[in-house]
Amino acid sequence: MRVSTLLAATASVALISGAAAAAPAAVATAAVSAPQDAAYTDAELKGYATAMARIAPIAQSLNGAAPNADQQAQMAAAVSESGLTIEKFNEISNAVGADPELGARAELAAATPSPAGSVGAGVTDTEADQFGAAMVQLQAVLATVQGGTPTPEQQAQMAAIVEGSGLSVERFNEISNAVAQDAHLRARVSLADARRN
């Protein structure tokens, strides 16, 4: 699950304060605002994503209700064990919610790197961007396909889109197959998409 999609389910998590870590029954009532020019390290973003992975199931089980003392303690422990302070976690959470590129960076930081020698490991940043840009255009064509099979004209249009992206059809297909199985490569493509938009 994308880190950014977890934010809606974890709105109460962004309200955890230092007091919640010390006294689990306390929850801050004001959100922490993130600096607009904050530059977060990959380690901070990985810590954030690690904490979110542990917090998400707790937050989703709340169904919008306030967490109880035990749930607050579990969420605070997840943040603490990720290497972040509650304040830094809240800051990053707010920033990720406001910045899709930062959310994509957090997703990438959390993904296990592509195995050495795999297609995903060999995809350059330029290729990831070319693939993502081509996919946006291809999805528009695929939305017009009726009956599940593209017409010869649609097939030609899709081939032209891929070749116009700077990738060969063969390389595009290699990357497409790898994206389906490689979370790190998917995260790299998502980051390229966020940067392009």
Q: Which residue has the higher pLDDT, 42 or 18?
A: 42
Average pLDDT, the chain: 83
User: Which has more confidence, 135 or 29?
Assistant: 135
pLDDT at position 148, please?
A: 85
Examine the pLDDT at 17 and tell me if it is beyond 60. no
SS3 assignment for the chain: CCHHHHHHHCCCHHHCCHHHHHCCCCCCCCCCCCCCCCCCCHHHHHHHHHHHHHHHHHHHHHCCCCCCHHHHHHHHHHHHHCCCCHHHHHHHHHHHHHCHHHHHHHHHHHCCCCCCCCHHHHCCHHHHHHHHHHHHHHHHHHCCCCCCCCCHHHHHHHHHHHHHCCCCHHHHHHHHHHHHHCHHHHHHHHHHHHHHC
The torsion angle over the Cα atoms of residues 186, 190, 193 and 197, rounded to 10 degrees, is 170
Does position 35 have pLDDT exceeding 70, yes or no?
no
Sequence spans of domains, the chain: 3-110, 119-196
Average pLDDT over residues 43-65: 92
The pLDDT of residue 38: 54
Q: Residue 105: its pLDDT value, please? A: 94
Worst-scoring range by mean pLDDT, 1-5, 30-34, 78-82? 1-5
CB 120, CB 178: distance < 8 Å = yes
123-179 confidence digits (pLDDT tens): 999 999 999 999 999 999 999 998 889 999 999 999 999 999 999 999 999 999 999
